[in-house]
Amino acid sequence: MKPLNSSPLWISVCLGLLLVAGCATTPPPNPALEQARQKIAALSDSPEINRLAAGELQDARNHLKEAEQIWQDGAEAAEVSHRARMAMRQADIAVEAAQARQADQQVERLSNQRERLRLEARTARAELAASRERLIAERERAERAQAEARRLAETTERVRAQQAQRESELQRQQAEMARQEADEMRLLAEQRAAELERQTEQMREEAQRLQQQLADLEAQATERGLVLTLGSDVLFDFDQADVKPGAERTITQIAAFLNEYEERQVLIEGFTDSTGSRDYNLALSERRAESVRNALVERDVDPARIQITGYGPDHPVASNDTDAGRQLNRRVEVIISDDNEEVPERD
């Protein structure tokens, strides 16, 4: 218990020593410390610094406290200023730290926003691509529909054109057929015309030939018609009525002429010379005329067209006093009408 009694003395000694060591007189003001004090006080009032840089602010305060302490303890001014500057720098750090954190937060916010925007952009791009694809698909569909419509129109047009072509072809064929028909008809007509002409020509030639023949037969054109005088000596033997074979050519020529001109009528007149009895001569001349008629009928001349008369010695053409005259008088005259009227009898 003894040391307890002596303790107040120890304490007082120790305290005295402490005071001496601390140089505890009122220290002179330090501008750096003052500045730091003000700055840190201002920062302590800032809610942002408190919120964002509490640790750094506390560090600054601690440094300030230390500076205050050594200033209070009467430390060297350089040391106090050094400590004050440290506190000041610490305050600057608090400011920068607050700014950096605020910026970091903003960076984070913006980064998040950027992620969101990237996503949104990707979506928008995808939607745009989808829209474009839809647009392209829509356009393609429209184009296909147009192409289909065009194709249909072309087909319709083609069909119409083919139909028109077929129709025109048909018309052309019909026209061709009509033309061919017409050609054939024309050809036929031409042929017929040519044929007719040929026939006409033939007939004319024939007629000419016949005329010539008649001319050969020494036909004479008279008022009664064509008169052919055939010498009886040529036609008949003496005192006979049968036509001699040698006269055939003449008879055939006459028959041909009559067959050619079928409308013409014929009158056959027989004559004799005056030798012998009259009645006998009349009968002989008539028989001779009939013989000529028969010869013609044999050569296809219609008998109804042929009249006969026997005049005997009447109507002599020459004198019966001479042989030559009598020869001329012995004759048969074939008179062929110019038209279809019967040949008139002699007066």
Partner 1 sequence: MKTRLPILLPILLLGALVLSACATRPTAPAEELGAARSAVASAEDAGAREFAPDALHDARSMLQQAESARAAEDYPRARRLAIEAEVEARYAAFKARSARATAMIAELQQSNAALEAEIEAAKASARQAEGDAR
Question: Can residue 25 be called a binding residue for partner 1 (CB under 8 A)?
Answer: no
Question: Can residue 22 be called a binding residue for partner 1 (CB under 8 A)?
Answer: yes
Q: Applying CB under 8 A, which part among 34-42, 126-134, 242-250, 303-311 lies near partner 1?
A: 126-134
Per-residue contact string for residues 132-151; x = within reach of partner 1 by CB under 8 A: x-xx--xx------------
Cα 177 from Cα 180, distance rounded (Å) = 5
- Per CB under 8 A, contacts with partner 1 among 71-100 are 73, 79, 82, 85-86, 89-90, 92-93, 96-97, 99-100
CB neighbour class for 199 (10 Å; exposed up to 12, middle 13-18, buried from 19):
exposed
Residue among 133 and 195 whose Cβ is closer to partner 1: 133
Contact yes or no for 273/330 (Cβ under 8 A) = yes
CA distances from 177 to 184, 186, 256, 278, 302 (A): 10, 13, 47, 80, 50
CB of 132 vs partner 1, minimal distance in Å: 5
What the block records as the tokens of 267 is 């009158």
- Per CB under 8 A, contacts with partner 1 among 158-197 are none
Residue among 134 and 151 whose Cβ is closer to partner 1: 134
Which member of 106, 191, 199, 220 binds partner 1 (CB under 8 A)?
Answer: 106
Contacts of 265 (CB under 8 A, 6+ apart): 305, 306, 307, 336, 337, 340, 341, 342, 343
Question: Can residue 124 be called a binding residue for partner 1 (CB under 8 A)?
Answer: yes
What the block records as the tokens of 42 is 């201002």
Residue among 96 and 242 whose Cβ is closer to partner 1: 96
H or E stretch at 71: helix 54-72
H or E stretch at 308: strand 306-312
Q: Applying CB under 8 A, which part among 17-25, 39-47, 163-171, 230-238 lies near partner 1?
A: 17-25
Residue among 43 and 295 whose Cβ is closer to partner 1: 43
